[in-house]
Amino acid sequence: MDSYGDSTALAAAYLIAALTWFIFAVVFYVLGSLFLMKIFEKAGVEGKWRAWVPFYNVMIFLKLGDLSPWLAFGFLLTWVPFLGWLVGIAMAVLMVLAAWRVGLKLQKSGAWVVLYIFLSIVWLGINAFDKSRWNPNIVPASWAGNGFLADRTVWQGIPVQPSAQAPAPGYGAPQGYQPPAAQGYAAPQQPGYGQPAAPQAPAAPQAPTFQPPAAPPAPAAPQPPVTPPAPPAPPAANPDAPQTGEQPPA
Domain count, the chain: 1
Cβ atoms of residues 139 and 163 within 8 Å = yes
CA distance 102 to 135: 9
Distance CA 191, CA 24 (A): 70
CA angle 65, 116, 83 (to 5 degrees): 75
In-domain check, residue 129: yes
What is the Cα–Cα distance from 235 to 46, expressed in whole angstroms? 126
CA torsion through residues 165, 168, 174, 179, sign: positive
**Domain-embedded: residue 245:** no
Domain residues for the domain of 31 are 3-164
Three-class SS state of 244: coil
Within 8 A by CB and 6+ apart from 141, the residues are 66, 101, 163, 164
What does each of the 250 residues of the chain score in pLDDT, given as a tens digit? Answer: 456 667 788 888 889 999 999 999 999 999 999 999 999 999 999 999 999 999 999 999 999 999 999 999 999 998 888 888 999 999 999 999 999 999 999 999 999 999 999 999 999 999 999 999 999 999 998 888 777 899 989 999 999 988 765 444 444 344 444 544 444 444 445 544 445 555 565 566 565 555 656 666 666 665 665 565 666 666 555 545 444 444 444 4
Residue 179 lies in a domain: no
Q: Decide if 12 is inside a domain.
A: yes
Within-domain flag for 206: no
pTM confidence score: 0.63
Tell me the CA distances in angstroms from 59 to 62, 197, 214, one per residue in order.
Answer: 5, 55, 91
Whether residue 212 is contained in a domain is answered as no
Instruction: Tell whether 232 is covered by a domain.
Output: no
Does 204 map to a domain? no
